[in-house]
Structure 1
Amino acid sequence: MTDKKGHSGEFGPEVRLAMNRTGSFDWDLDAGTIDVDEAGLSVFGVRPEGFDGRPGTLVLRLEPGERARLEVVIKDALRSGRSSYEARFPVPLEDGSVQWTHVQARVLRDGEGHAHRIVGVVRDATPEMAHSTFLTDLRKQRERQTDMVERTTRALSRAVTVDDVTAALTGPGGLARLGADGFALGLVENGALQVIALSGESLEVLDHLRDQKLEPGRPLAETVLSGRPLFSSSFQELVRGYPLLAPYADRLRFRAAAYLPLVAQARTLGGMALFYRGRTTFSADERNLTLGLAAIVAQSLQRAILFDEERELATGLQAAMLPRRIPEVEGGEIAVRYHSAWSGREVGGDWYDVIPLPRGRVGVVVGDVQGHDTHAAAIMGQLRIAIRAYAGEGHAPPTVLARASRFLAELDTERFATCTYAQADLATGTVQAVRAGHLEPLIRHTDGRVGRPKVAGGLPLGVASVFGDEEYPETRLDLVPGETLVMCTDGLVEQPGADLGQGLAALEEAVSSGPPGAEALADHLSERLWERWGAGDDVALLVLRRSPDPGTPRAPRVHQYIHQADPQGLSEARSVVRQALRDWGLRAYADDAELLTGELLGNVLLHTEGGAVLTLEVLPEPERRVRLSVQDRSSAWPRRRTPGEAATSGRGLLLLDALALRWGVEPRGEGKAVWCEIGPPSSDPGGPYG
């Protein structure tokens, strides 16, 4: 006993190390042998009688990867000149268990730094490694739970409406944030439980249970009624407790479920259910986590429900102040849209109106009162009625806006308003427009091009009267058959993070690429602009289209307006004429028609102060002829001249005489129309001026 005990009868160091499953070793690097005591061999899982003193035999039990990693640690210590190293690695034992082994070694070197021995201790580190693994797993679990709460809170912080909340919980990443494989959300409405969201594989079998009576017998309803959560670690046991779920048991691929009440400020809003495939138990931490998630969802839903209720009230008030019905107009179609701001819950001051006028005309107006509150809405309602009354009395557009400005100034308010008002005669296409600090309208031409006519403007309504400047100059526009007038408030073009010019360019592109019909174009603009940008402002939109006039298959017809300030208009009109005649099978007349088109339009654009309307049609006679007509606002008729050899003009009527079968001039309203016919000779060719 003297070799294992001291003289006092106590256990010696070697025995105490062995009792703690700690052994020692002495590795002769030069001889390639290693001496390990019994305790050390036990730690390596090697029997003393089977150990041959070779280092390779000592680590035979290690997995090849672990053995390679241990060799790297040792070689690195020897090459680097370090005097010690340590390593931890798992050792598989005979009983199938795994023991963690910890080696601490010292490298002994000679005077030249050459390593010749390694001595050290090896011990069983399984208890501490298991404890460390437990702590690591616990830390990871807590981090995962914290991450779930943070991600769910972050996603719901951006949710404004109830739809936003359900989208955050059921959209991409929603189930992962909740740590579940399935999700159901129900809200209490009128004494019933309405399931408004289902997410997860196989949950679609519950679609017809979306509307539930708020009574016992269903786990989600009972949770809402009692206000207490229900945790089930076995779906089969849950079915036995709630037989109403039995028909769905085989199709619902879940093993566990948590039913949680949604309570905010002592009010039960509804309940939510989380379903799990792999889980069979709920620890105390997991139960607290699900309850915490339910509290976050309940708070978000409470805010969203309040927002939706207030917004519904505001939208209803706004709708009550807008026209209940848009009258039908002869010779055209009108579409209107109003969109309240997504980001606010207050009433806005945007409005539109369509006003029937004497002699078959129609007045259209789009405006915006400053502010987003009930005061702005009240002013908007009064101003809309005032403009309707002034227009209905038959006043000209400048007078309508001047009186409206005075009316607003007399309301004893600091608010002002912008608007565009136009009177349209769809029989002739004449539009008389005025602006009060508002956006200019757009005109979509029949070929899809979009123009932004320069409509002269005055000061905003109210401001103009305060400064004594109630001048609203009138601008005349022309809509040829098939063209469309688009008027809107700035909410449709104010894109977040971009200037107004970019928004207007986007609007022009959307109008150009949209469908021709008024209703379809209004929907297209809403989808492309307002819904895409997530408008932070109200939007009022009005689309007025003059009915197209394509003629008949036997006698087709096209119209085009050429603005005097458009340098490309003449070239485009010539191209339209040539292409139309080709499409109609009248290619033989294309050259003459294109030449006369340029001459007639050039004469108007040079010698008058406005644009012109070009009409190209085929006369339905036995021998088809092409008719060109150019209408302008000038009362001056063309006259014959005798140009000299060096003259650069004055040959227009000579060309008409030479190329046209007949031509003439007709009075048209405030102006005239010069026309000509091209084709095979007729028995009565007529003469100049028809």
Structure 2
Amino acid sequence: MTSHPILKPPHIAPQTMRLEEPGTDLREELPEALALNGMGSFLWDLDSDKFLLDAGAMSVFDFAPGEYDDRTDTLSQHMVPEEVEGLKELVADAIAHRDNYGAYFRVICKDGSIRWTHTQGHIQRDVTGRPLRIVGIVRDASPELEHLTQQATLEKDRERQTDVVQATTSVLSQALTIQDVVDALTSADLLDSIGAVSIALYLVENDRLRIVGSCGMAPELIEGTSVTRLDTPLPPNHVVCTETPLFINREETEKRFPMLVPYCKSKDCTAAAVLPLIAQAQTIGAIAIVYEGRSEFSPEERNLLLALGATTAQSFQRAVLYDEEHAMAVGLQQAMLPANIPDVAGASIAVRYRPARNGHQIGGDWYDVVPLPTGRVGLVVGDVQGHDVHASAVMGQLRIALRAYAAEGHPPSTVMARASAFLHDLDTDRFATCIYADFDPVTGRTQFVRAGHHGPLVRHADGRCSRPYVHGGLPLGLPQYSSNTPYPPTSLQIGPEETLLLCTDGLVEFHGMDIDEGVHQIESILCGGPNDKDELAEHIVATIESRQGQEDDVALLLVGLTGARHPEERRHWSCLVTNTDPKAPAQARQMLRSTLTHWGLGTMCDAAVTAANELIANAVMHTEGDAMLTARLLRLNGDCSQEQLKIEVQDSSSTLPHRRTPTETSAGSRGLLIVEQLSQEWGAEPLGAGKRIWFKLPIAA
């Protein structure tokens, strides 16, 4: 049905129905009753085309007495022209196919106003079926349609209010932090949906009311009222103290709150709704919504705004609790991580840790950088199973244990095996994954061991990324059933312009995404990132959070060579030889040979390793403790062209060795003799607890 102009009820001359004496036939008063209710009857003789109207029908068509001449043409002149033909077609169709019809049409009154009218007719026929005449009624339909229009308008308003509440509830249900709630409520979409021009959000903090977000408010107002006492005479403070919503127009605002007069004059705001945010019987803040072009609020609008305020209060309370729990979780996790990362000459290292956005749920992800006695550095990234306080506590213990094993100078395989045994012996059912790298900051030579963890990624100088293969073992804390090395090492050379990335699975595993797709995504981010390691680390975590969100904890470590060399670099190396590990002497010999080769002393490796082996064997056989093997480069009189290699073995026994001359049948006593023959000089010196035996070899210019 098309929209219509202002409706006007039919004009009916005031009449008073006669109250007849008892016994009078009341049926005679029925035509007058119809007229009083805006109705009338008609008779249309089809043969003569006479269209007769009674008094009530003439009033509906706005005819004065004696004005109507019973002609259909005259009747058509009082109807909207474009509706006449449609009504004729409707009547013709009814004559041809049925006996009744009904229709709405519009009547043009004498004053030019439009009146909606409804007609209903019945076709009378003769015995042959030929139509003779039509009898029916017409009535003023304006009140009926006005009511329907009002109901439709109200229904649209209700639908709009329902849509606003549902949309706001949907957005706020996904908000976790206070900032998430602020962003949702200060969006332009929300302002448009409720017809407002500005909004401000307030939270109570230590007897103060602080603005936590706004949109459309005057900057000077936000600046002047950013933090106020609760008793300050301002609308938000008033509703917080009284716990009563405030619907106020501009005049009332200026009268009751004079502090706002300067701000009101600079804006065209005419009304505001200021609502307290009450959650669990506690007022936690307020919300102020400002409008233009209105001075009051209908009951429906007030109900809508009150519902919005209640939803906002619940969301803010949930967000405040989330932020507090999240801060506590992050603080606990950060306390378990290294307080700082040591500076490593020749290398640039950057680390990042990001907790998952799961309230108090914290994980066991960690990183560590361990200076090694060899002059190298140990790089660690790991993840303890689970997301709770227990996982974080286990992580802290495991990190410290692994750091201690690495600092003692054990080879990577031994460090990982001992860490696994340590976790297995803890009173916990958790396991952990880990990757450990023994990194040389001068040459870039790196030895990896991996325990159920993702392998490393390398960004090369040409911008491409690769995933080098690293032998793996079982996660830490699981029983080792193989007699072979449980964590076999893998060597890799890192070039001067290359970047090594170690990370936990939170950076590559996402809900609904294949892990290979996640790794490809990280490779793309790594290749397109900046060269500075710290900037690159921030770029990686920020990009992942913007794309997938923070579904899980993330720990990452980036390292690359800088080319800078310390003047005393590579002049000291140490390795712990454990008494209880039968493979320890062989591993120590291997590491010593590798170190001397890196120092450019490959031609003297055989002599040095052979002599050192004799001292190691002596310490292992004749003492009950561990031994420390150390290699040093010594300058003679500060001259770089004259250097000596000094190798020491320190043990816990205070008994000094004596050189013996073996007989032909002696099974031993040749160790020091071999050392004497291979070295330039040797010696032994007591310590506070134990002794140190050493020998020196000259280095050719």
TM range (shorter): 0.7 to 0.9
Partner of 2:535: 520
The CA deviation at 1:432 is 0.7
Distance 1:355 1:47, change over 3 A: same
Partner of 1:301: 316
Counterpart Cα distance in 1 of 2:179 and 2:85: 57
Counterpart Cα distance in 2 of 1:72 and 1:190: 77
Partner of 2:15: none
Counterpart Cα distance in 2 of 1:505 and 1:168: 33
Q: Is residue 570 of structure 2 the alignment partner of residue 545 of structure 1?
A: no
Aligned residues: 546
What 5-or-longer segments of structure 1 have no aligned partner?
A: 550-633, 636-690
Distance 1:57 1:340, change over 3 A: farther
Counterpart Cα distance in 2 of 1:121 and 1:58: 15
Q: Report matched runs for 1:161-180 at 5 Å.
A: 161-178=177-194, 180=196
User: Of 210, 235, 242, which residue of structure 2 is paired with 1:194?
Assistant: 210
Deviation digits for residues 195-241 of structure 1, max 9, x if unmatched?
112124x5445331322222231111111111111111x21321222
Partner of 1:216: 232
The answer on whether the counterparts of 2:362 and 2:388 sit within 8 Å (CA) in structure 1 is yes
Counterpart Cα distance in 1 of 2:98 and 2:272: 57
Q: Report matched runs for 1:565-644 at 5 Å.
A: none
Partner of 1:356: 371
Query: Which has the larger displacement, 430-439 or 94-103?
Result: 94-103
Q: Is residue 161 of structure 2 the alignment partner of residue 140 of structure 1?
A: no
Distance 1:522 1:75, change over 3 A: farther
Partner of 1:480: 495
The CA deviation at 1:125 is 2.8
The answer on whether the counterparts of 1:459 and 1:469 sit within 8 Å (CA) in structure 2 is no
The CA deviation at 1:293 is 1.9
Distance 1:65 1:339, change over 3 A: farther
The CA deviation at 1:389 is 0.8
Partner of 1:282: 297
Counterpart Cα distance in 2 of 1:286 and 1:334: 58
Q: Is residue 438 of structure 2 the alignment partner of residue 423 of structure 1?
A: yes
Partner of 2:335: 320
The answer on whether the counterparts of 1:459 and 1:470 sit within 8 Å (CA) in structure 2 is no
Partner of 2:681: none
Q: Report matched runs for 1:182-261 at 5 Å.
A: 182-200=198-216, 203-208=218-223, 209-232=225-248, 234-261=249-276
Counterpart Cα distance in 1 of 2:94 and 2:354: 74
Partner of 2:474: 459
Deviation digits for residues 421-440 of structure 1, max 9, x if unmatched?
10111211101111000000
TM-score (structure 1 length as normaliser): 0.74
* Helix, strand or coil at the partner of 2:290: strand
Distance 1:489 1:63, change over 3 A: farther
The CA deviation at 1:74 is 4.1
Counterpart Cα distance in 2 of 1:469 and 1:160: 49
Query: Which has the larger displacement, 238-247 or 276-285?
Result: 276-285
Partner of 2:400: 385
The CA deviation at 1:494 is 1.0
User: Of 165, 168, 172, which residue of structure 2 is paired with 1:149?
Assistant: 165
User: Of 12, 21, 27, which residue of structure 1 is paired with 2:38?
Assistant: 21
The CA deviation at 1:347 is 1.7
Counterpart Cα distance in 1 of 2:324 and 2:92: 73
Counterpart Cα distance in 2 of 1:519 and 1:264: 43
Counterpart Cα distance in 2 of 1:276 and 1:142: 20
Q: Is residue 197 of structure 2 the alignment partner of residue 181 of structure 1?
A: yes
Q: Is residue 518 of structure 2 the alignment partner of residue 503 of structure 1?
A: yes
Counterpart Cα distance in 2 of 1:257 and 1:448: 57
Partner of 2:5: none
The CA deviation at 1:256 is 1.4
The CA deviation at 1:108 is 4.2
The CA deviation at 1:187 is 0.4
Query: Which has the larger displacement, 97-106 or 221-230?
Result: 97-106
* Helix, strand or coil at the partner of 2:265: coil
Partner of 1:552: none
Counterpart Cα distance in 2 of 1:112 and 1:510: 90
Larger Rg: 2
Counterpart Cα distance in 2 of 1:73 and 1:468: 99
Counterpart Cα distance in 2 of 1:249 and 1:70: 57
Query: Which has the larger displacement, 236-245 or 445-454?
Result: 236-245
Q: Report matched runs for 1:1-16 at 5 Å.
A: 8=24, 10=26, 11-16=28-33
* Helix, strand or coil at the partner of 1:196: strand
User: Of 43, 54, 73, which residue of structure 2 is paired with 1:37?
Assistant: 54
Distance 1:193 1:531, change over 3 A: same
Counterpart Cα distance in 2 of 1:317 and 1:467: 37
Query: Which has the larger displacement, 396-405 or 119-128?
Result: 119-128
What amino acid is the match of 2:339?
A: R
Counterpart Cα distance in 1 of 2:44 and 2:482: 103
Partner of 2:136: 120
Counterpart Cα distance in 2 of 1:468 and 1:272: 68
The CA deviation at 1:484 is 0.4
Distance 1:343 1:78, change over 3 A: farther
Distance 1:235 1:427, change over 3 A: same
The CA deviation at 1:511 is 1.2
Distance 1:504 1:31, change over 3 A: farther
Counterpart Cα distance in 2 of 1:185 and 1:50: 67
Query: Which has the larger displacement, 132-141 or 407-416?
Result: 132-141
The answer on whether the counterparts of 1:419 and 1:436 sit within 8 Å (CA) in structure 2 is yes
Partner of 1:577: none
What amino acid is the match of 1:348?
A: G
Query: Which has the larger displacement, 178-187 or 266-275?
Result: 178-187
What amino acid is the match of 1:457?
A: G
The CA deviation at 1:39 is 1.6
Counterpart Cα distance in 1 of 2:120 and 2:537: 79
What amino acid is the match of 1:340?
A: P
What amino acid is the match of 2:174?
A: R
Distance 1:349 1:72, change over 3 A: farther
Counterpart Cα distance in 2 of 1:546 and 1:172: 49
Partner of 1:492: 507
Distance 1:453 1:275, change over 3 A: same
The answer on whether the counterparts of 1:369 and 1:376 sit within 8 Å (CA) in structure 2 is yes
Distance 1:478 1:135, change over 3 A: same
User: Of 60, 63, 68, which residue of structure 2 is paired with 1:51?
Assistant: 68
The answer on whether the counterparts of 1:152 and 1:177 sit within 8 Å (CA) in structure 2 is no
* Helix, strand or coil at the partner of 2:356: coil
* Helix, strand or coil at the partner of 2:395: helix
Distance 1:77 1:166, change over 3 A: farther
Distance 1:100 1:300, change over 3 A: same
Distance 1:238 1:412, change over 3 A: same
TM-score (structure 2 length as normaliser): 0.73
